[in-house]
Amino acid sequence: MNGCVKPTGPDSSPADKPDALALDQQLCFQFYAASNLITRLYRPVLNELGLTYPQYLVMLVLWEQDGITVGEICGRLHLDSGTMTPLLKRMESQGLIERARDPDDERRVRVMLTARGRNLRSRAGAVPEIMRGGQNPDELDSLRHVIGDIVNRLAAMLKR
């Protein structure tokens, strides 16, 4: 695709319309590619902290609100418990978190930061600035809001 805008309307021919099955026409591919590239950009920065990208996301959630349930973490990250459980087990073995049954409801498991997990926050403080990479903060903030709206719409579609 050359990026040119092709005419559409009553005078345009089918040849002028973009191929609906072209890879570059797929919004899902643009998100997939962006996610892949973002994860690859984060990898060397997070390696210094001993974290994978999904672990970093869990830590961000817990630094905001320690002691929440596995289900609440899953909800914030749009992940299922089958994905979350092995991730949390590994983080627990690294000494970053502890898991415990909720005394008020044994069906729920709460996740708490250890001292090591809380202390890692200060080291992670530079990550957002490093990842911004000189990009315009206002443009990134605007983009974050647009993508956040899309994520919310997609999550609502899944709940139907």
Q: What is the CATH number of the domain that holds 92?
A: 1.10.10.10
Kindly state the tokens that stand for 73. Answer: 């973490």
Asked if 55 contacts 90 with a C-beta cutoff of 8 angstroms, the reply is yes
pLDDT score of 16: 76
Q: Does residue 64 lie within any of the structural domains?
A: yes
Cα(125)–Cα(127) distance, rounded to whole angstroms? 6
* pLDDT at res. 12: 55
Q: Report the chain (160 residues): mean pLDDT per 10 consecutive residues.
A: 48 74 94 95 97 98 98 96 96 98 94 98 96 92 95 93
Task: Determine the pLDDT at residue 134.
Answer: 87
Of the candidates 46, 53, 65, the residue with the CA atom closest to the CA atom of residue 120: 46
Q: Rounded to an integer, what distance in angstroms lies between the CA atom of residue 19 and that of residue 79?
A: 32
Q: State the residue range of the domain holding 67.
A: 24-124
Q: What does the pLDDT read at residue 11? A: 58
Query: Is 55 within a domain?
Result: yes
46 within domain boundaries: yes
Task: Please indicate, yes or no, if residue 2 is contained in any of the structural domains.
Answer: no
Q: Which residues contact 52 (CB under 8 A, 6 or more apart)?
A: 46
Asked if the structure places residue 160 within a domain, the reply is no
**Domain contains 120:** yes
Q: What local confidence, expressed as pLDDT, does residue 18 receive?
A: 87
Number of domains in the chain: 1
Mean pLDDT (the chain) is 91
Its pTM stands at 0.85
pLDDT of residue 3: 44
The pLDDT, as a whole number, for residue 6 is 47
